[in-house]
Amino acid sequence: MKFIKILFLLAFISTFGQSNVNNQLTAYNFPKIKSSITMPVTIPLSEISNMINASVKELVYQDDSYTDNNNDQFKVKVWKTRPIRLVGGTNQNILIEVPLKIWAEKGIGTLGVYSYQNTTFETVMSFNTTLHFNNNWTITTSTQPNGFRWVTKPVLNYGKIQVPITSLVEKSLKEQQLKFGKVIDQQMATQLNFQQYAVMAWNVFSQPFNISEEYNTWLKITPINVNITPLKFYGNQIDTNIGIDIYSETFTGSKPEASQPIKTAMNFNFIPILADKFLLQTTANIPFTEATNIARNMFLNKEYDLRGSKVKINDIKVYGVENRVMIEAETEGYVKGKAFISGIPVYDAIKKKIVLSNTKFNLKTSNILQKTATLLFKGKIVKMIEDEYGIPTQDLENTSRKSIEEAFNKEYYKGLNMNGRVFNLKPGNIYLNPSGITAVIDTNAILKLILKGI
């Protein structure tokens, strides 16, 4: 079973939707983002049936001794004639049908002298298996006999005389059915133990991933805990919801240290319900070099009227000061000097841009007379910056949406299919770092995991 192995991969896949227009080379650790991924998981009972059938050999049982079982003078061989069939019950249980062909040989006699006759017949054994998913990633089952039905009844053929041995065989069959139920439980416990896959996945994805060789950028995923809803049984499948709480961290510079490997996966939590949709938060990083290029394309060498005179912007740059974005514009003409317009970056959903709010203005000039025009110039340039300047996020949003949906709709391993859709994606909180602007991307999505053909 590979679906547990992929659970932590999903955390990486989802956060891989980050857009890295980041071309800063200085080392910086971006905000540590806590996110949750929720996904319904569908396990067709046919897949569990395939596992059981693969593990149960054609010859199911063999008793080659006449003298065991209190000298019962009875030998038996049991074969599986068709695949074992599973059907979901209504009380956390699975109904199992095992079609069998049985060869039996019985000795009849006294004082150690016996006459032996054999027969072959077919039956279908039924079992009722109660399944419990333990929070240590193991599954335990309790399989009880649920009767059997004859396909062909056992008869000993003595030529003209045919002796039915149904009652004798039924007693033995009931004993063998109890033993076979224990075999089913043993096979289930072996095949449905996910602890090793959980440990493997946890350790693999505790290693940081290089998501941009060009800018030496690393993504580190740290699972915090896993939540699982109770299993729901249907006629042909088992459903559950899995929620993974993670921290995602972005690093530039040297590769960050991996988390310490684990030998045993932490227990997951049972919770009654998980939302179908989930909120995933990732980061997109816009360097100040890019923000400066946007400003230069908008304003460099442009002239503006001021009291019948001209003011020209001949240089402009963008950088950060504490929690504010600073735009430094060098002007000539009627106002010669440096204008400093700073603001707190926020996302404007209508413009689909990161814009400046709560702006402040300062002007440095050596011409005392020009200072009388400060108020007029302030109103004009601040309004211009507020109205026109912004870092477009439309491409970032489209790219992130496309990247996440591509990751959500793939077959990563044979038989493990994911299907997902992004409902809404937009920047939320905006932070400054020494080299640029970090936007936290809020993504509302739905994801489904289906096992088929493993």
% of the chain exceeding 70 in pLDDT = 85
Q: Classify 236 as helix, strand or coil.
A: coil
DSSP state of 208: -
144: pLDDT strictly greater than 90? yes
pLDDT for res 372 = 62
Taking 80 as the threshold, does the pLDDT of residue 14 lie above it?
Answer: no
CA distance 35 to 117: 70
> What gap in Å lies between CA 318 and CA 426, rounded to an integer?
23
Query: From the CB of residue 401, how many other CB atoms can be counted at a distance below 10 Å?
Result: 20
| Mean pLDDT lowest among 124-133, 255-264, 293-302 | 255-264
* Rounded Cα distance, 19 and 413, in Å: 25
- Per-residue pLDDT averaged across 317-336, rounded? 90
Q: CB 433: neighbour CB atoms within 10 A?
A: 21
Contact 83, 45 (CB under 8 A): no
- Looking at per-residue pLDDT, the higher value among 197 and 319 belongs to 319
**pLDDT exceeds cutoff 50 at 411:** yes
Report the distance separating Cα 306 and Cα 370, nearest Å: 11
Which CATH number fits the domain 45-191, given the four candidates 1.10.1130, 3.30.700, 1.20.1440, 3.15.10? 3.15.10
Instruction: Give the pLDDT band (50/70/90) at residue 425.
Output: confident
**pLDDT value for 369:** 55
Q: Round to whole Å and give the CA distance between 279 and 426.
A: 11
Q: 45 with 238: CB under 8 angstroms? A: yes
**Measured between alpha carbons, how far is 249 from 363 in angstroms, rounded to an integer?**
39
Site of tokens 């949709």: 277
Backbone angles phi, psi at 366, to 5 degrees: -90, -10
Q: Is pLDDT above 60 for 6? A: no
Closest CA to 433 of 345, 349, 361, 339: 345
pLDDT in tens, 433-451: 888 888 888 888 888 877 6
Distance CA 186, CA 190 (A): 6
Distances, alpha carbon 249 to alpha carbons 22, 209, 408, 435, in Å = 15, 10, 21, 17
Regarding predicted confidence, which is higher, 161 or 119? 119
pLDDT for 99: 93
| Element housing 249 (H / E) | strand 237-252
What integer is the mean pLDDT of 80-97? 87
Residue 295, pLDDT above cutoff 80: yes
Residues forming beta bridges with residue 361, ordered by sequence position: 341
Residue 15: the pLDDT is 35
For 293, residues 6+ apart whose C-beta sits below 8 A from its C-beta are none
The residue-averaged pLDDT of 366-375 equals 62
Which residues lie below 8 Å from residue 223, measured CB to CB, with a gap of 6+? 8, 11, 202, 205, 244, 245, 246
Which residues, listed in sequence order, are joined to residue 247 by a DSSP beta bridge? 34, 222
The amino acid occupying position 7 is L
Cα 233 to Cα 89, 93, 139, 228, 303, distances in angstroms:
6, 7, 15, 15, 72
Best mean pLDDT range from 47-61, 216-230, 252-266, 332-346: 332-346
What is d(CA 304, CA 311) in angstroms, rounded to the nearest whole number?
5
Quick: pLDDT tens for 201-223: 677 667 787 766 655 667 777 88
Separation in Å, CA 5 to CA 64, 130, 397: 43, 25, 30
pLDDT of residue 453: 60
Task: Kindly indicate the confidence band of residue 320, based on its pLDDT and cuts at 50, 70 and 90.
Answer: very high
Determine the pLDDT at residue 412: 59
In the 8-state DSSP scheme, what is residue 368?
A: T
Average pLDDT of the segment spanning 121-134: 90
- pLDDT, residue 358, reads 92
Q: Tokens 């699975």 — which residue?
A: 94
Is residue 8 pLDDT above 50, yes or no?
no
More confident residue, 144 or 197: 144
Higher pLDDT, 194 or 383: 383
DSSP 84-125: -EEEE-SSSEEEEEEEEEEEEEEEEEETTEEEEEEEEEEEEE
Q: If you average pLDDT over every residue of the chain, what do you get?
A: 79
pLDDT for the residue numbered 348 = 92
Query: What does the pLDDT read at residue 397?
Result: 80
Burial label, 213 (beta-carbon count in 10 A; 0-12, 13-18, 19+): exposed
Q: pLDDT tens digit string along 298-316?
A: 889 888 787 777 888 999 9
Evaluate if residue 124 carries a pLDDT over 90. Answer: yes
Query: Does position 361 have pLDDT exceeding 80, yes or no?
Result: yes
